Amino acid sequence: MKITEITSTILHDPNGFVIQDATIPPIDPNAKGRSQLFVQIHTDEGTIGLGYGPGQRSIQAVIHDNLSDLLVGQDPFMIEKLWQDMFWRVRGYGRKGVALQAIAAVDIALWDLKGKALDQPIYRLLGPAHESVPIYGSGGWTNYAEKELVAEMTGYVERGIPRVKMKVGKDFGQSESEDIERLATVREAVGDGVEIYVDANNGYYAKQAIKMSQIFEQFDVAWFEEPVLADDIPGLAQVAQNTTIPVATGEHEYTKYGFRDLLVAGGADIVQPDVHRVTGITEWMKVAAMSDAFNLPVAPHAVSLVHIHCAMATPNLKVVEVLGAEENSHPIWWAEVPPYNDDGTWQPYADRPGLGLEINPDSLRNNVVG
């Protein structure tokens, strides 16, 4: 089998959520719309691998202008070799960000292709460690009114998901009292039996985060995510050493080398690789294994329909994020997605190869970005 062509499509959901967190500047309250990039790897045997990533044209351009020529004519089963070829191709301009996100979309498509060629779901190729995995409902955006925040958090609980995540660090950390009030309201609304995670999205400074963590402790917060700037590894370590709440971080690391530095410094208690940023499934699994060597749990960030496969094969998994903003667009992007279990757990389709996903054909007719 040889790769013959790389194609891609950007689809747009006109009603998709536009989100705001601690460090996203204010948005128009009427703003709507989300886009997603889909990548297809074609082969001479007719098997097509499907990957996806953020819906930016810049990512699409890197794939076609800088990566496609490395792939055409190659054996798609040689995923590690192709990953290395792509990684070194973008060395001079892609140490983080767009170029590595392009690699991620291609890498996911390669794994999907392999699963289809072997008639196995990706998690079976990776080697399952679980029958199913726990999930949590995620959102609680800072642009939500308190009523909207409570409705979303209690909505997850009513669906049988006993873990939720909300945002703090509002207004770049300048609304501490409101952070506390919102957390108190959510705790009262969901009750004592539900785990609450809080995410500051880089919004505090280290000493401020330590002070806030001591207040958050009274609400039995189960983790404190990105309390300070993700690149401030000493600050993350300082917070981790001065709070009883586990510090979760990693969504803005792009390589195993960045995760190595983070873990050696003691900057994370819960490790959060994002498959769309850490160059795909190939590197994600290495980060998960590295975390296991540090005896740390992994809780992947967003991208749940890919992470569910990785998570099934991760013995040191903590929980998988189900992001409401992504979930809202699933009917636009996908013909069908695996349903959640009633007990707050999930697993991929066992009888569908690769990712087990097909693009919604209606969206291919009506939602293509020109």
Asked if 93 and 212 sit in the same domain, the reply is no
Domain membership flag for residue 352: no
Asked if 99 and 188 sit in the same domain, the reply is no
pLDDT at 118 (0 to 100) = 98
Domain membership flag for residue 161: yes
In degrees and rounded to multiples of 5, residue 270 shows phi and psi of: -130, 130
**What is d(CA 186, CA 149) in angstroms, rounded to the nearest whole number?**
8
Domain membership flag for residue 233: yes
Q: Taking Cα atoms as reference points, which of 286, 276, 226, 294 lies closest to residue 256?
A: 286
pLDDT at 23 (0 to 100) = 93
Asked if 242 and 157 sit in the same domain, the reply is yes
User: 160 lies in which domain range?
Assistant: 125-346
As a whole number of angstroms, the longest Cα–Cα distance in the chain is 61
Give tens-digit pLDDT for 344-354: 999 999 999 99
Domain membership flag for residue 319: yes
Give tens-digit pLDDT for 234-269: 999 999 999 999 999 999 999 999 999 999 999 999
pLDDT at 19 (0 to 100) = 83
Asked if 21 and 158 sit in the same domain, the reply is no
* Beta bridge mates, 8: 39
Give tens-digit pLDDT for 44-95: 999 999 999 999 999 999 999 999 999 999 999 999 999 999 999 999 999 8
Distances (CA, A) of 63 to 69, 89, 100, 179: 9, 11, 10, 41
Asked if 283 and 305 sit in the same domain, the reply is yes
Q: In the chain, how many domains are there?
A: 2
Domain membership flag for residue 308: yes
Total-model pTM: 0.97
Low-confidence ranges of the chain (pLDDT < 50): none
Domain membership flag for residue 353: no
**What is d(CA 49, CA 275) in angstroms, rounded to the nearest whole number?**
17
**What is d(CA 203, CA 198) in angstroms, rounded to the nearest whole number?**
12
Asked if 279 and 143 sit in the same domain, the reply is yes
- The CATH number linked to 86 is 3.30.390.10
Asked if 139 and 208 sit in the same domain, the reply is yes
Domain membership flag for residue 155: yes
pLDDT at 73 (0 to 100) = 98
In angstroms, how far is CA 155 from the centroid of its own chain?
21
Asked if 91 and 130 sit in the same domain, the reply is no
Asked if 60 and 139 sit in the same domain, the reply is no
Asked if 240 and 111 sit in the same domain, the reply is no
CB 229 within 8 A of CB 267: no
Asked if 135 and 39 sit in the same domain, the reply is no
In degrees and rounded to multiples of 5, residue 33 shows phi and psi of: 120, 130
Asked if 269 and 341 sit in the same domain, the reply is yes
pLDDT at 10 (0 to 100) = 98
